[in-house]
Amino acid sequence: MKSKILVTGGAGYIGSHTAVALATAGYEPVLVDNFVNSSKSVLEGLKQILQAEPTFYEADCTDKQQMEAIFKKEGNIRGVIHFAAYKAVGESVAEPIKYYQNNLGSLLVLLELMEQYGVAELVFSSSCTVYGQPDELPVTEQSPTKPANSPYGRTKQMCEDILRDAVASGRKLKTVALRYFNPVGAHPSGLIGELPNGVPNNLIPFVTQTAAGLREKITVFGDDYNTSDGTCIRDYIHVLDLADAHIKTFEYLRDRSENSFYDVVNVGTGQGNSVLEVIQTFEEVSGKPLNYQLGPRRPGDVEQVWADVAKANNVLNWKTQHSLKDALKDAWRWQQNLVKTE
């Protein structure tokens, strides 16, 4: 019998790609989503890729009654990957209580039900935002976490603290917080990808939407940073590599003999690219010139950050397989598919 893995936020960007990776690796993903940050069209894309209807529940992870019904019905859930969270930095500043209620509340409900139903393995979706602007680069898991620039970032730090404290209390919980850097790209089929609601917060959807003629231009926020070309530097990881890291993390948890265990692991490429480098690489792979302008710095933006991935390589036995060019080609294919279907 295939091991069932509950995937919260399973219709979201990273969740949907991880669902494909889980199914390919022989697990049975059980998806939960309330479509606040996602679209029902993703389920159709998953069905085409998997050649089967994914197991799916429309539910809110902060609703214990709804979530308990899923645990009861599925019966033998082996582990949980918790993606479901509000994630817009600007919105979190404007509506902090909403972010604390959702992002902390959903984790607390899951931990309660996992203990009740004897589910011990959890992979938590954390973020490199916990590091703030690092003192040294690349960032290692030992780098100090800085006061977060937003309530969103604080919720990720607090969730890590909750997991650390839960394990320290001796409860039966094996968990790893994966600190993601900047996920980009899409499934090579072009059937699922990043699908922002309204104006994108992330660079790549803005790039592809501008190339597709849906947006007039891109504003590059800040050209006077202390970097090679004056623009911010980030570590852009293909979402397929990120999805694969979750499979490797479950294998790692399965092989640990302890009943109670907590760890954090960076998931990135180990190198940084500037905003202008991303724009120029996209123009190269797509053959589409982009209309962009240089603008003032955006409040809260970190100047540069990229990951030290030695721990992921050595402990999880995981390495990236896809380049920035691959990611941008896949993102462009996804965007062209979207334009055709709209």
Q: What is the pLDDT of residue 341?
A: 63
Q: Bridge partners of 219? A: 293
Nearest 5°: phi and psi at 68?
A: -65, -35
pLDDT tens track for 320-338: 999 999 999 999 999 999 8
Joined together, the tokens standing for residue 112 give 């309660």
Task: For the chain, 342 residues long, give each residue's pLDDT as a single digit of tens.
Answer: 789 999 999 999 999 999 999 999 999 999 999 999 899 999 999 999 999 999 999 999 999 999 999 999 999 999 999 999 998 888 898 999 999 999 999 999 999 999 999 999 999 999 998 998 899 999 999 999 998 888 999 999 999 999 999 999 999 999 999 999 999 999 999 999 998 877 787 899 999 999 999 999 999 999 999 999 999 999 999 999 999 999 999 999 999 999 999 999 999 999 999 999 999 999 999 999 999 999 999 877 889 999 999 999 999 999 999 999 999 999 999 999 986 665
Full-model pTM: 0.96
Q: What is the pLDDT of residue 296?
A: 94
CA–CA distance, 195 with 342 (Å, rounded to integer): 13
Burial class (CB in 10 A: 0-12, 13-18, 19+), 213: exposed
CA–CA distance, 184 with 206 (Å, rounded to integer): 12
Q: What is the pLDDT of residue 60?
A: 98
> How many residues are there in the chain?
342
Pairing of strands 121-127, 77-82: parallel
Q: What is the pLDDT of residue 274?
A: 98
Q: Residue holding tokens 């389920």? A: 43
pLDDT tens track for 107-127: 999 999 999 999 999 999 999
Task: Return the number of other C-beta atoms located less than 10 Å from residue 168's C-beta.
Answer: 10
Average pLDDT, the chain: 95
Q: What is the pLDDT of residue 254?
A: 92
Nearest 5°: phi and psi at 331?
A: -65, -40
CA–CA distance, 125 with 83 (Å, rounded to integer): 5
Active site residues: 152
Q: What is the pLDDT of residue 132?
A: 85
